[in-house]
C-alpha cells in the first residue's frame, strides 16, 4: 500500500530517458489504474506522460507525481520506487488479482471475518512477520526467505516453494499474535454451501 519497487528501468540514452519498452510498461500501469478508477483510458496524467516530460528531473533524483503515483527513479540501478496516491485503488487491484490467482476467495462469505481483518491489517503485521521469519529453521538450501526476496533462487522451484511456505507460516503466526485466526472457518462455509445445494 505504501511503496513498491520495480526493476528494468535503466536509462539507455544520453538524454536520461527510458526506452520504448519501458514506456509501454508504464502505459500499461496507467491503463490499469484508469480502468480501476472508472476513467476513460488515456484521460489521466500518467506515469508514461511523467517520464516523457520530466525524465531529466527524475534522473536527477527528484520525487515527482502522476495522477495515481509519486515516483522516484534510480536510472543507474534501473529501479523505480512507486508511492501510490490512492490506497482504495491498490486494494481494488489486490482483490482483483488475488481472486484471479485464487489467493483470495471468490466470495467474502467463504472465509471468516478474521481472514479479512488479517488481510486489511497485513502491513501493520510486518514486524511480527520479520520476527517469525527470523525464527524459521534453516535447512540445506540456506536462507530461503532472503534468497527468494533478493531473487537468488534462480529457478529452483523446490526452494521457491519452501521460501513461500516459510513466508506464509510467518504471516499466519503474525496474525495469530494479534488474536486472529485467518484460516478459521475456511472449510466450514464451503461444506455448508454443499449441504445447502444437496438439500
Per domain, the residue ranges of the chain are 4-88, 107-198
Burial-class residue 26 by CB neighbours within 10 Å (0-12, 13-18, 19+): buried
Task: Give tens-digit pLDDT for 85-97.
Answer: 999 999 899 888 8
Task: Give tens-digit pLDDT for 72-115.
Answer: 999 988 999 999 999 999 989 988 888 888 888 888 778 888 88
What is the DSSP track for 20-86?
A: HHHHHHHHHHHHHHHHHTTPPTT-S--HHHHHHHHHHHHHTT--EE-SSEEEEEETTTTEEEEEES-
Report the predicted TM-score, pTM, of the whole model to 2 decimal places.
Answer: 0.65
CA pair distance 168, 139, nearest whole angstrom: 17
Contact status, residue 73 vs residue 80, Cβ threshold 8 Å: yes
Amino acid at each position: 500500500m505504501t511503496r513498491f519497487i520495480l526493476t528494468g528501468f535503466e536509462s539507455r540514452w544520453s538524454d536520461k530517458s527510458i526506452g520504448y519498452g519501458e514506456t509501454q510498461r508504464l502505459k500499461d500501469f496507467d491503463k490499469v489504474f484508469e480502468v480501476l478508477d472508472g476513467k476513460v483510458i488515456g484521460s489521466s496524467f500518467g506515469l508514461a506522460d511523467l517520464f516523457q516530460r520530466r525524465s531529466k528531473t527524475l534522473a536527477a533524483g527528484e520525487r515527482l507525481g502522476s495522477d495515481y503515483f509519486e515516483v522516484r527513479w534510480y536510472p543507474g540501478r534501473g529501479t523505480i520506487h512507486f508511492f501510490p496516491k490512492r490506497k482504495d485503488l491498490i486494494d481494488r487491484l489486490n482483490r482483483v488479482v488475488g481472486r484471479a490467482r485464487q489467493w483470495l476467495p471468490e466470495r467474502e462469505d467463504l472465509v471468516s471475518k478474521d481472514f479479512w481483518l488479517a488481510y486489511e491489517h497485513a502491513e501493520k503485521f510486518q514486524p511480527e512477520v520479520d520476527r517469525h521469519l527470523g525464527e524459521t529453521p534453516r535447512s540445506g538450501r540456506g536462507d530461503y526467505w532472503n534468497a527468494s526476496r533478493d531473487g537468488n533462487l534462480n529457478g529452483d522451484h523446490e526452494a521457491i516453494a519452501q521460501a513461500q511456505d516459510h513466508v506464509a507460516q510467518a504471516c499466519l503466526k503474525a496474525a495469530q499474535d494479534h488474536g486472529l485466526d485467518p484460516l478459521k472457518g475456511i472449510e466450514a462455509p464451503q461444506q455448508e454451501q454443499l449441504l445447502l445445494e444437496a438439500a
